[in-house]
C-alpha cells in the first residue's frame, strides 16, 4: 500500500481471491463510510455482478 491515497485499505484472503468476508469488510469499512449521509427514507441501489463473494445471506440481511 505504498503511496496509497489517505484512507485506502486492502485485504487479502489466504487463497488470494476475494470472498464474502473481504466483501463485507469493503462494504462496512469503505463503501458505507464514504457514501453521503442518508436518512431512513432514502434508499441506495447497489448493483453486483454475481461473483460468489457477493452471494451471502449475511450480506443480504
In tens, the pLDDT along 23-43 reads: 888 888 888 888 877 777 888
Name the pTM for this structure. 0.64
- pLDDT above 80: residue 6: yes
Look up residue 44 and give its DSSP letter.
-
Which phi and psi angles does 50 have, rounded to 5°?
Answer: 95, 5
Task: Tell me the DSSP string of 8-36.
Answer: ------TTSS--HHHHHHHIIIIIHHHSP
In the block, which residue shows the cell 462496512?
28
- pLDDT above 80: residue 20: yes
Look up residue 7 and give its DSSP letter.
T
Is the Cα dihedral 24, 37, 33, 31 positive or negative? Answer: positive
Amino acid at each position: 500500500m505504498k503511496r496509497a491515497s489517505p484512507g485506502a485499505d486492502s485485504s487479502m484472503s489466504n487463497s488470494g481471491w476475494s470472498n464474502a468476508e473481504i466483501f463485507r469488510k469493503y462494504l462496512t469499512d469503505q463503501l458505507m463510510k464514504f457514501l453521503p449521509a442518508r436518512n431512513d427514507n432514502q434508499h441506495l441501489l447497489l448493483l453486483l455482478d454475481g461473483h460468489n463473494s457477493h452471494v451471502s445471506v449475511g450480506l443480504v440481511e
